[in-house]
Chains A and B, each alone.
Chain A
Amino acid sequence: MCLLQPSSYNIPVVYTEWKFVLLRTLITMIYGYDLIDQMSQSNIQRLIYEFNLVKPYVDLMLNDKTQTFGDLCQCNDTICGFERTQMFTCLKLITDQLKCDYVCITLSNRIIVSSPNWSKLKLNEQYVLQLLIAYNPEFKFIRDYAVYIESVDRTHNYRLITVRLIGHLHVSLLCSNEPKLNVFENTIETIFRPHIEYIQNISSLLYPRAIHDSVQFDHSILALLYINRQTHYCVSTLHPIPTTVTKQDIVEQRFLNLKLFYMQMISRTSETLIPHTEPLTTTVNEMYMINDDHKCYYLKENNYELFILYSNSIPNIALRGISRKTLTLLKKHL
C-alpha cells in the first residue's frame, strides 16, 4: 500500500496514518467486518449500492471538506461557550424513555452532548458516526443506517437512527431492533418541543462559529483551534468575530493556513531531521510564524493546546500576551 505524500506539502506521517484509520473505519462500518469478500461474490448490486453510499464520505475525508480539525488532531469536535444543562436534561430523557445507552446530539459534525456509552466509543468510530450524521447527501429529515461498531460488537450490525431537529442540529441513536422509527420520532418531538426557542438559539448562535457569541476574542484573530488532550475534545472556529460575514474562499484559506500550521507543529515535535547521539529531551511550548499575510501562534499549557491565526495588524510583541489570554478564556469553557 502506498502513502502518497508530496514532499512539498509536509504532511506528517501521523496524520496520514490516522486518515487511513478513519477510511478503514468508514468502510468497515458500512460494509461490516470481513463481509466485503462475501458480498462481492453473492450480492454485487448491494456492493455497488454501498460503494455509492460511501463515496461522498470518502470524498469529504480526503479533501477536508468538513473544515473541522477532529481528524487532524484525533479528537472530537465540539462547541463551547454555552450552558449545556438543558441539553443534558433532554439527553437523559431520551435515554430513559427509549431505553438506549448510545445517544448523541450534534451540531453539524460537532458534539454538543453525548451519553457516557457513546463517549466511550473509539475516537475514530465517533468521528465517522458524526460524519454520517452530519452529512446528508439526500437531505432526508430522518435516516436509518445499518452500521457495524467494532468496539461494541462486530459480528452484527446496529442501527444508526438520526433525526434533524433544526438547521444542522441532529439527535442520533445507536440501537438494535428497538425503538421503531416512528416511536423514536414521536419521542424526540415530545422531548424537544418545549425547548424550541432554546434549540433555535443554539443553532443560530453556534453555527458556523462553534463558540457562543458571549465569548469574545481579540479582533485580530482570524481562526483558532483549541484542544484539550485530556478529554480528547477540540473546538475550532474560522469565524471568530460573530458579527462579520466572511467570504467562503477566505474561510477556506484560513482553514488551510491553520491546518498547515498544525501540521508544521506536529512534524516539528514528532520528526527529527538529523540523528542525534541521544534523543532530545526538549519540548516545545510555544511557537510562532510570521509572514506578510498573517501570523500564527501556538501555545501549550499542560494538556491544553491553542493554535491561533492572526491578521497582520497585530504587533509581534502582542502575540504572546493575547494568545495567553485567549487560552485562559477557553479553558474556562472546555
Chain B
Amino acid sequence: MTSLTTSKNVRDSAALSRTGIYSTLGNLLSDISSIESDNIVNQENFHQDTAQAFASSKSGRVYFETENAVITYENDLSSIEHIHIRCKPASTFDRAIHFNLSEAVLGIYPIYSKIKNPTEEEYVLVRGIDPLRAAGSSRRIKVGDWLVAINGISLTSKNFNRILSKLNVSKTLRLTIRHPINYRSKFSLSEKFNVKPTPTITSTTLEQLTHDAADIDFLHCAMYYGRQKQTTENDEEETKAFELLYQQPTQKDIFLAANGLFPTLIMLTKDMNNNDSNNLRSVTINACEQELNVCITSDTNDYYLVIIYPPLNISRHILEYITKNVSRLLQFLFGSIHQAFFPLNQNDESVLTTSSAVKHFFNLLFYRLYNMSSPNVSPILKHCRLSDELYIDQFEGIPKLLTLTDVQLTNVDSILNSLESQELNECSNEINRFRRPSYVYGCVLFFQSLLVTSHLSKTITLDIYRFLIHYCHLKMRELRPRTTELLIYKEIFLTGTHSFLIVFSLAEFTLAVVVQTHDSQSSPDHVLINQIQFILEEIERAQLTSQIRQSFVNNISPWIISYPSNFVKKQLKRTISLPLLSAFTSSTTNVETSDTIRNVPVVTEEHLNQRESSIDTRAKQLVSQKSGQDELYKNRRQSSSSTLSLENQTNFAITDKMPFKLHPGENSTIFYYLDFQSFHGLLITPYITLQKSSMTDKQLFETFQETCLNIRLKHFKRTKTTTTSVVDKSLFNTKQKPVYNEVGYLHVLPHLDSKETTSKKNLPALNFWIVGKQCVQESFVHEFFVCYHDSIDQNIQELAFSIGLAA
C-alpha cells in the first residue's frame, strides 16, 4: 500500500509539469474516445449522476465518510482519471478465498459510502487493492479513490455487483476513478496541524461475515450478574439476591434457563468466595430438554460472568479453559470484566462503543464454537474454529515458535529495535518539538500464526496472541496474505500503565506493537502508525518470506523425526532398543507439520546440524556389532523395504526425499511420545501397520490426542496433590478427589482401511497403550506421554520415559 499523501504530492507537482499537462490531456482524450465507443445515453447518465452528487454538496466538494476516514473529493476533471485494467471473469469468484466479487474480478476491495449530506445512493470507494493484480500493479488506483464508473456506467452499491457478475470473460475494462484531495483518518488527532495521514484499512471482513450470534440455532448465552448482599444477625455477609445486569442474546428461553441457575449460583458463589484461589466453576444444567454446560467466573466477589455454552459435545473441562481465556481477554481489553460491561467513563458514546465491542466479543466466541459443528459455515471461517486451539501443541495458548537462523533473527530484531528506540530520535513532526507523548513499549512479530520474535514479557505476548487468535486475525493471514492493513488500534489495560495496542499486517507478517503514553489524555498519532507500517515494510523487504518458506521442506513420509541424539541414554546398555535409536543418528531432515499430523512441532535448525556426539559414536559402535544388526533384518516379509546397513545409513541424506523405513520387529513399535513442556516428540512406526493417510493412522493419532488431553485435564492439572481422607461437607470440595501421577489406557483399534478389510487374512486389531506420567523435578512439574504397542517389552517403555523426563 503506497502512501496517498506521497502520491498526491507527486501528482500535484507533476500536474504543473509538462508531463502532467500531457497526462491530463491524455485523460481528456480518452474521455472523448469513450464517448465514441460507449453508449452515449450511459455517458449522459454518468454526467448527470455526478452532477447530482455535486449539487448536494455546498461548496462544490463532495465529502464521504467511512468508518476510518473522511474523504474529500473535488468536483473538477483534474481529479478524474481513466484507467484500463484487465479484469478476470466473474466465474473466478471462490467463496473459500474471496470475500466479494470485486476482489476476484478487479482485485479491488470496495467499501460503500454515502455522501456526507446523505442521499439515498451509496457510492463505491476503494478500500484496498490487491497489489499482485492489474489494479494494484498499475499503481494508478489508490486506496481512498472513488470508483465512479466502469466502461462509462456509473457505479453505485446497487449495480456494482450486477455489473461485475456480467463479466464472463477476461477483458480490458475502463475504470473511471476520482482521486481524493483530502483523506483525513479518524485515527489522527493532529487535525489542527493539517497533516494528511496515510489511509488505513481495518479488517471489517470478519464483522461482515460473522452472523449475529442470535442466528445460531443452539441455545447459548452470556450473562453478567451482580450479587446483592445483606448482613445477617451474626454480622456475616450473605447473598440476598442476584441481579441480571447484562444478557446476550436476549432470548426468552435463555431467561428460563437462567432462572434455573439461581440455586446453583448461590452455592457456587459461596464456594468461589470461600476458595479464593479458583474463581472459575462449571456445572451442567438440564434446561429446555437439553444439557447445557455453564461456566461461572469472577474477578471480584460481587459480580459474576455466567456463560451458557451451546450443547456441542465439548467437555466441561475444555469449556473451563475457554472461559478462563475469555476472562483473561476481557481484562486485557477492558481492564476488568466489570469494566467490559460498565466502562468507567460513563458518557453515552463510550457506553455505546463498549457495549457493541462486548457484544461483538461474545458473538465471535459463540460463532467460533458453533463453527465447529455447523455444516453451513463459511469455508473461510472454518479455519477460525475454536477447536483448532485445542490441539495439544496449542493447548496452553502458546504460539508455536517459528525458528529462524541467527542472522535472520538479528535482522528482524534490529529492525524492531529501530522502532522501539524512536523516542531517542528526533520527532519527525517539525511543529511539535517536544518529546513525543507516546513511546513504543515493545513489539511482537508473527508469521501467519507462528511467533517469530517478541520484545515483550511472556504474559503480554500470550495475551496479544490469544487476542489475535480470538478475533481470527492470525488465521486470516493464512488465507489473505496479500493485503496490507492496519488491523487494530485499541486501548488495552496493562497494570499501572496507559497503553495501546496497534496491530499491523503485511503479507503474512503481523506486527503487534504496545505503545504507552504518558498521560491518560494522549494517544498514539498517525506519525507513529506510519512508522510502524514502514517498519513492517522493512521486514517484508528483508525477504524473509521466501527464506521461511524454503525451510518448510516437503517430506514424502508423513512421519516426522526429530532430536535423534537426545534419545540416546548416556550409559547405554545392550538392549533391543538400540537399533531403533541409532537409526536416527544421521537424520538431517527439516520438519514440516503436514496435514496428517497437526501436533508435531517445528524442529530448530541448531539440532539438525549437530555434530555427532560421543554418545552417537558409542551407539554406532554397539549397533555395528552383528547381533545388533540382526534386529534390523529380522522380519523377512518386507522384501521391498529400503533396509540399509548401518554404514549406508550414516551417509544417507534424508533430503533426497526417500521414505526412511524401519523393520518393524516386535520391539521397535513405539509410536510416539510427547513432552508437554517442550512440545518435543519422536515418532517411530513399523510401516507395515501405519501407512500414509490411512484411517488407522488418523484414529490412532486422534485417540492419542484425546487421551492425552483427558489425562492432562482430569489428573495432571491439579498442582496440589492430596490423598487425605478429609471429608469436607462442601459439595464442591476439591480436596476429596485423589490425584494420580501415572495413568495408562489400553486401546483396541480395529483395522479400518478398505485395503486391509478386503485381505483374506483377518488382521488382528491394533492394541496400543497410551500412558501419561507426571513427576516433579526441582519444583518443576514434568509431564510425559508415550503411546506404544501392546507387545512391547516393559524396558522399552521405561526407556522412553526415562529419556523423555530427563530431557
Instruction: Using CB atoms and an 8 Å cutoff, list the residues of chain A in contact with chain B.
Output: 1-10, 13, 249, 252-253, 256-257, 260, 264, 267-268, 271-276, 278, 280-294, 296, 316-317
A59 to chain B, nearest CB (A): 14
Q: Of residues A274, A290, A317, which shows the largest number of chain B Cβ atoms within 10 Å of its Cβ?
A: A274
Q: Which 10 A-B pairs have the closest CB atoms?
A: A286-B746, A293-B723, A6-B732, A273-B315, A290-B742, A7-B282, A289-B740, A8-B734, A282-B747, A253-B725
Which residues of chain B have C-beta atoms less than 8 A from A283's C-beta? 747-748
Cβ-based interface call for B544 (8 A): no
Do residues A13 and B320 form an inter-chain contact, with CB atoms below 8 A?
no
- Judge if B680 is at the interface, Cβ distance under 8 Å: no
Question: 1/0 per residue B465-488: CB within 8 Å of A?
Answer: 000000000000000000000000
Contact partners of B731 in chain A: CB under 8 A: 4, 6
Interface string of B290-313 (1 = CB under 8 A from A): 010000000000000000000011
User: Contacts A2-B286, A317-B794; is A9 near B373 (CB within 8 Å)?
Assistant: no
- Report whether A275 and B314 are in contact in the complex, using a CB–CB cutoff of 8 Å: yes
Quick one: which of A275, A289, A294 contacts B743, CB cutoff 8 A? A289
Identify the interface centre among B312, B387, B725: most chain A CB within 10 Å of its CB. B725
A276 engages B702 (CB within 8 Å): yes
* Cβ–Cβ < 8 Å partners of B725 in chain A: 249, 252-253, 256
Residue numbers in B under 8 Å from A1 (CB-CB): 260, 286
Could you mark each residue 732-753 of chain B with 1 if its beta carbon is under 8 Å from any beta carbon of chain A, else 0?
Answer: 1110111111111111111010
B388 to chain A, nearest CB (A): 10
- Say how far B793's CB is from chain A's closest CB, in angstroms: 11
- Inter-chain CA distance A267–B391, complex, in Å, is 20
Q: Contacts A5-B284, A275-B373: A280 and B387 contacting too (C-beta < 8 A)?
A: no
Please tell me if B634 contacts chain A, counting CB pairs below 8 Å.
Answer: no
Whether a CB of chain A sits under 8 angstroms from the CB of B715 is yes
> Does A281 contact B699, Cβ atoms closer than 8 Å?
yes
A sample of 17 inter-chain contacts (CB < 8 A) reads A2-B263, A2-B264, A2-B286, A7-B282, A8-B737, A13-B291, A260-B738, A274-B315, A274-B390, A275-B312, A275-B314, A276-B702, A284-B748, A287-B744, A289-B740, A290-B742, A292-B723
Q: In the complex, what residues of B have CB within 8 A of residue A286's CB? A: 745-746
Evaluate whether A8 and B732 lie within 8 angstroms (CB atoms) in the complex, with A2-B264, A290-B742 already known. Answer: yes
Cβ-defined contact, B748 with A282, below 8 A: yes
Query: Considering residues A1, A6, A271, A293, which has the most beta carbons from chain B within 10 angstroms of its beta carbon?
Result: A6
Complex alpha-carbon distance, A92 and B426, angstroms: 105
**Is A288 a contact of B744 with CB atoms below 8 Å?**
yes
List residues 240-268 of chain B with CB under 8 A from any CB of chain A.
260-261, 263-264, 267
Q: In the complex the two chains form, what is the Cα distance from A230 to B156 in whole Å?
A: 73
Extra 12 A-B pairs, beta carbons < 8 Å, given A272-B706, A274-B387: A4-B264, A7-B732, A9-B736, A13-B284, A268-B745, A273-B314, A273-B318, A273-B706, A273-B713, A274-B391, A285-B767, A289-B740
Which of chain B's residues 708-733 have a Cβ closer than 8 Å to chain A? 709-710, 713-715, 721, 723, 725, 731-733
Contacting residues, chain B, for A264 (C-beta < 8 A): 714
Contact A7–B283 (Cβ < 8 Å): yes
Give chain A residues whose Cβ lies under 8 Å from the Cβ of B710.
268, 273
Given contacts A8-B732, A273-B706, contact A2 B260 (CB under 8 A): yes
Decide: A291 near B723, CB < 8 A? Known: A272-B315, A280-B702: yes
What's the nearest-Cβ distance from chain B to residue A65, in Å? 13
B561 within 8 Å of A (CB atoms): no
Verify A285–B283 contact, CB threshold 8 A.
no
B312 to chain A, nearest CB (A): 7
Q: Are B285 and A2 in contact (CB under 8 A)?
A: yes
B782 → chain A, closest Cβ, in Å?
16
Taking CB atoms, residues of chain B closer than 8 Å to A252 are 725
Q: Which of B284, B740, B749 gathers the greatest number of chain A CB atoms within 10 Å?
A: B740
Closest to B312 in A: A275
Is B88 part of the contact surface with A, judged by Cβ < 8 Å?
no
